Amino acid sequence: MKRLATGILSVVLTLALSAAGRPAHAQGLALGVEGGVNFARVHVNPDLTGSDISNRTGVRIAGVLRYDFAGPFGLQTGVAWSQKGAKVADTSGSGLVEKVKLDYFQVPLFLTLTIPTGPSPVHPRLFAGPQVGIQSRCNISATDGTTTVSAACDSPDLGEGGLMTKKTTFGLAFGGGLDFDTGGPVAITVDGRYELGLTDINDSGVSTDPSIKNRSFSISGGLLVKVP
């Protein structure tokens, strides 16, 4: 993992130094909207015995504000609504399957690097930075055979199957994408990103309980409008 991280950092620094001496795409402010799909799960430490954790597929919708400086660098922020969580299946033979649905409003602050491509209308970019999330919903649905019970994570109806969670989370996100100029003020944008939750969202207050952290990969597409 350390060798991989060092390799990625080396590539990013090489691209940044190469791009710094060349003209980038137009400086200025752009506003946009984007939507896509999340492939989310949770990282539990230590691992849950007798359980298999898999992805929850959800929706991600965002408003975007991006500012490109005169060089290859820029800043990006906005507000996103993102569906996260996981599916937990009991492997001991009971057949019980729980779906943990965690929805957040997220505000990122990314440093962006646009890779110059000359007169081409296609502009590759990289981005990375921190983000804060405010939980808007936590719901658990438990299915045992043909019977499904659904309730808020902290509902007493769930008994020991409930989950107390922190409402504010912090994390890092990084990814890359492509911007397509259309010849006018509107550009088409697509990207993929990986989000690494840093906050242990388990708020049970029991020190021996496992830590739970969000993880997700998302693919999005949208439109950007350049502000004159």
For 145-185, write each residue's pLDDT tens digit. Answer: 788 888 998 887 766 667 889 999 999 999 999 999 999 99
CB 84 within 8 A of CB 38: yes
Model pLDDT, residue 177: 98
DSSP secondary structure, 58-116, as one string: EEEEEEEEEEE-SSSEEEEEEEEEEEEEEEEEE-SSS-EEEEEEEEEEEEEEEEEEEPP
Digit-coded pLDDT (tens) for 102-130: 999 999 999 999 998 889 999 999 999 99
Digit-coded pLDDT (tens) for 59-72: 999 999 999 998 89
Name the amino acid, one letter, at 49. T
Model pLDDT, residue 154: 84
The answer to whether residue 1 scores a pLDDT higher than 60 is no
Name the amino acid, one letter, at 180. F
pLDDT tier, 6 (very low <50, low <70, confident <90, very high otherwise): very low
Digit-coded pLDDT (tens) for 184-198: 999 999 999 999 999
The average pLDDT across 206-226 equals 95
Contacts of 224 (CB under 8 A, 6+ apart): 30, 31, 32, 64, 66, 179, 186, 187, 188, 189
Residues paired with residue 10 on neighbouring β-strands, in sequence order: none
The answer to whether residue 52 scores a pLDDT higher than 80 is yes
Cβ count within 10 A of residue 131: 23
CB 156 within 8 A of CB 141: no
How far from chain centre, in Å, is Cα 153? 21
pTM of the model: 0.83
Q: Which position has the token pair 């390799």?
A: 7
* 185 vs 228: CA distance, rounded Å: 9
* 79 vs 60: CA distance, rounded Å: 11
* 143 vs 108: CA distance, rounded Å: 35
Task: Give the CA radius of gyration of the chain.
Answer: 20
